[in-house]
Structure 1
Amino acid sequence: MRRRGRLARESEVDPFYDMLFNMLIAFVFCFIVALIAMNPKALKAGDIPSKAEFIVNVAWPDLDPNDIDTWVQDPAGNLVWFRAREAGLMHLDRDDRGLQGDVILVDGREVVNPLNQEVVTVRGVEPGEFTVNLQYYESRNGQPVEANVSVIKVNPRAEVVFYGAVPLARKGDEATAVRFSVLPDGSVANVNTLAKPLVTTPP
């Protein structure tokens, strides 16, 4: 009789432990889903660099058909541009060519991506001077283009190193957007816009 009572008592407790265990599993699942929702790109290998110290962003007006190219030189003289998308610690994420390649077919309808943007990431601290230049590579309407350039220092917190507009009048024009020096501790000094040509290969 006493044994039956003990078994009955243990069977009454079991559902409670089952419920606690199920709640724990649900909590862990929700936590993982929340992490994925907050940072989906970080889970895709190769999508973005695992670490970035500086981000250079170049944008020109939406739906502008003209092709503006970004050139960045590091202190060692490495150049990143559309024909050398990785050099030193730098990486060109995308070569945007105006409207070319921005039209895709979805269910038989043309969908246009209006954004014109190129992004270069610098994935480590390299002391010395960096130079960011723009080149008006190809004109499809003969019109001048004004591009906005920003340089963001990412670590240990986001900080705007430079933001400015760069006018380009015609095909073939090259302009220095910004030059800045990175110190050994990762801080930035000597931000200026003195001209320094980088384009060495004719379009």
Structure 2
Amino acid sequence: MRRRRFSREAEVDPFYDMLFNMLIAFVFCFIIALLAMNPKALKAGDIPSKAEYIINVSWPDMNPNDIDTWVQDPAANLVWFRAREAGLMHLDRDDRGLTNDVIVINGNQVVNPLNTEVVTIRGIEPGEFTVNVHYYDSKDGQPVEATVSVIKVNPRAEVVFYGTVSLARKGDEATAARFTVLPDGTVTNVNTLPKTLVQRL
């Protein structure tokens, strides 16, 4: 009887060894699959972009003229098309009217009709911000009306300013909005008092 029991245990042990080895192989394959599905997670130094405020400047679709956005922060840093990053501010999109808005897809020319510039402020910096629009270049000599919005993104989207600015001719500059950011991120003292930002190029 003892011999029989011993032989049965000897037959069962390799079965458990095989199960254990299969489990190890399965866990190993699972870890490799996770790493393969998200290779970007392994890249050191990747910091996801984050915005606290978004400034949009737009003008009529298909308008050929070039309107530029200038934003100044409380430390007097300026972001504009020749300085796309300054302090916590980033010019994410510089639109030049219809210039460079034509692309070729499958041999056909496609025109992007939208005219929009976007500036993001990627942190809370207490103090006053100024948003100006500048009629940089004219293709038709006509006045342009620009729409400007300032949106506080966190903890939920909130429009803190929305308005329009009329630019009569090339070279005109207008202050669209001035607003003060408090240490907790709250926006106050929104106004349109004129302030010149454009450096004569």
TM range, normalised to the smaller chain?
Answer: 0.7 to 0.9
What RMSD, in angstroms, separates the aligned Cα atoms of the two structures?
3.3
Q: Tell me the CA shift for residue 201 of structure 1.
A: 2.8
**Whole-Å separation in 2 of the counterparts to 1:119 and 1:56:** 6
**Whole-Å separation in 2 of the counterparts to 1:139 and 1:161:** 30
**Whole-Å separation in 2 of the counterparts to 1:107 and 1:157:** 41
**Whole-Å separation in 1 of the counterparts to 2:48 and 2:95:** 19
**Whole-Å separation in 1 of the counterparts to 2:105 and 2:163:** 36
Q: Which runs of 5+ in 2 are unaligned?
A: 1-33, 39-44
Tell me which residue corresponds to 2:30: none
Tell me which residue corresponds to 1:73: 72
**Whole-Å separation in 2 of the counterparts to 1:65 and 1:128:** 35
Structure 1 residues 38-187: aligned runs within 5 Å: 50-187=49-186
Q: Tell me the CA shift for residue 106 of structure 1.
A: 1.3
Q: 1:172 and 1:49, CA in 2 relative to 1: closer, same or farther beyond 3 A? A: farther
Counterpart amino acid of residue 180 in structure 2: S
Counterpart amino acid of residue 156 in structure 1: P
Instruction: Note the alpha carbon deviations across 1:52-91, whole angstroms, 9 max, x for none.
Output: 1100000101110000000000000000000000000000
Name the SS of the counterpart of 1:176 in structure 2.
strand
Counterpart amino acid of residue 130 in structure 2: T
Counterpart amino acid of residue 90 in structure 1: M
Tell me which structure has the larger Cα radius of gyration: 2
Tell me which residue corresponds to 1:15: none
**Contact between 1:148 and 1:164, CA under 8 Å: does it hold in 2?**
yes
TM-score by length of 1: 0.77
Q: Which runs of 5+ in 1 are unaligned?
A: 1-27, 33-44
Between Structure 1 and Structure 2, how many residues are aligned?
193
Q: Tell me the CA shift for residue 140 of structure 1.
A: 0.1
Counterpart amino acid of residue 167 in structure 1: S
**Contact between 1:69 and 1:135, CA under 8 Å: does it hold in 2?**
yes
Name the SS of the counterpart of 2:163 in structure 1.
strand
Question: After the TM superposition, which parts of structure 1 deviate over 2 Å for at least 4 consecutive aligned residues?
Answer: none
Q: 1:163 and 1:59, CA in 2 relative to 1: closer, same or farther beyond 3 A? A: same
